[in-house]
Amino acid sequence: MKQGKNIILYHTLSSLYALGLSLWAGTIYLYMHQAGYSYGQIDLFLALFWLVICLTEIPSGYLADRFGALKMTFYSALFRGSGLLLLASVRHDLIILVLSACLTALGDSLYSGTLTSWIVEQTKNQKLDQGKLFSNNYVLVSAVSFVGGYFGADLLGNIELKLPLISGAVILFLVGIIALFCKDRDRLADKNSPKKLPHFTFKGLLSERELLKTMVLFLPLTFITVGPYNQWQLYFQHGRKIKTGLILVGIDLCGILGASLFPKVAKLKLATEKLFLAHVLAIALSVCLLVFSSNYYLAVAFMWFHVVLCALAEILQTKILHEQIHNELRTTWISVNNTLEALVTTAALALNGFIADRFGLENAWLFLTLLGVSATFIWYGYQKKHA
């Protein structure tokens, strides 16, 4: 009974949180541009966002393990919602832009991996297919994001571009209230767990060689996905009327499709690493097809195909990582992975922006795709050679 209630709470909080993000996901950069921020200032927002994540991911994961995932979910919703309200309330103010980037990034760090690690700890001794649990949750989250994305972009966005941000903040505050009332469901942290986080994190990580190798194997995929993930709005938006809502609906539906296909893909007779490599190649191919499509609607279709593959890869990565973590500080290890990913994302965004400003979005995406595929297979070959 308790396990069932925890699963319901996990699905409820994660889907509401996704709704709070999806309402503005298709319009935030359009709002910032309308508010008078230059492309350089928008890039500053992104750079600060990822920099703060780099600095706060590991401490956030440790705090979740020490004080409880639901408490950290409350603080995440509070900080992220406040950052969104600030951005929507004051137009074209650089100080507000910086403060909003820091608050939303801190909220992201406090949330990333927290609920997933919490439900793994709550159910790890039960007869439960956690891969199926993650897949079902991804379907639910994508379905909610589908509704929120369309409502936020095509309805609220066409009334006033700041309305999706305000609505998202309100939903996030609701998530925080629910998490606060349910905080007693948090697992108490082990009193014998390490007190000095830096000593534990870096020394302990070096002793987890297989886990570290897996984390590094996942990183180059970021170079392939960073362009389409962050710039699809700018790539597909034409004219004054906001049209990204319908594309976002397709993105969310494709996320649902990808998550639904995962149980079938997981049954393929391939080692998990080789299955991941196959996903990397397929995702790279989808970017190339997208870029080389001369027809607008065909390009959108390949973007959706790209999302299906990314959804499959994301669930596969989550499953592999949790299977390789064998101690109590599960959220901390996930945060280590997220920190490495944030560092690579920061570098990839900078490189993508540099190339895009000089040679266009298409060439930037193609170059980073080639870089990501090459780095993935070089590292995989290195691992096998020194196994």
More confident residue, 153 or 111: 111
CATH number of the domain enclosing 51: 1.20.1250.20
The identity of residue 358, as a single letter, is R
How far is residue 78 CA from its own chain's centroid? 19
- 28 closest CA partner among 144, 152, 211, 191: 152
Q: Which residue type is seen at 127? A: K
What six digits make up the tokens of 154?
């095509």
% the chain with pLDDT above 90: 31
Residue 205, pLDDT score: 59
> What SS3 state is found at 127?
coil
pLDDT band at residue 54 under the 50/70/90 scheme: confident
Which tens digits make up the pLDDT trace of 331-351?
Answer: 778 878 888 888 898 888 888
Each residue's pLDDT tens digit, 127-146: 777 677 887 888 888 889 88
Q: Which whole number is the average pLDDT over 371-375?
A: 95
pLDDT at 264 over 50: yes
Tell me whether residue 164 is exposed, middle or buried, using C-beta atoms within 10 angstroms of its C-beta: 0 to 12, 13 to 18, 19 or more: buried
Residues 6 or more apart whose Cβ sits within 8 Å of residue 231: 352, 356, 361
Interatomic CA distance for residues 296 and 287, integer angstroms: 14
With tokens 């980037």, the residue in question is: 101
Distance between CA atoms of residues 258 and 137, nearest Å:
12
Domain tally, the chain: 1
CB–CB of 233/244 below 8 Å? yes
Q: Is the distance from CB of 220 to CB of 373 less than 8 angstroms? A: yes
> How many CA atoms does the CB half-sphere of 336 hold within 13 Å?
24
**Cα end-to-end distance, the chain, whole Å:** 44
Confidence class for position 189, pLDDT limits 50, 70, 90: very low
Instruction: Over range 23-51, report the average pLDDT.
Output: 83
The whole domain housing 140 covers 2-385
**pLDDT for the residue 241:** 60
Q: Tokens at residue 358, please?
A: 């000089």
In whole numbers, what is the pLDDT of the chain averaged over residues? Answer: 83
- Over 90: is that where the pLDDT of 190 sits? no
Query: Coil, strand or helix: which one is 228?
Result: helix
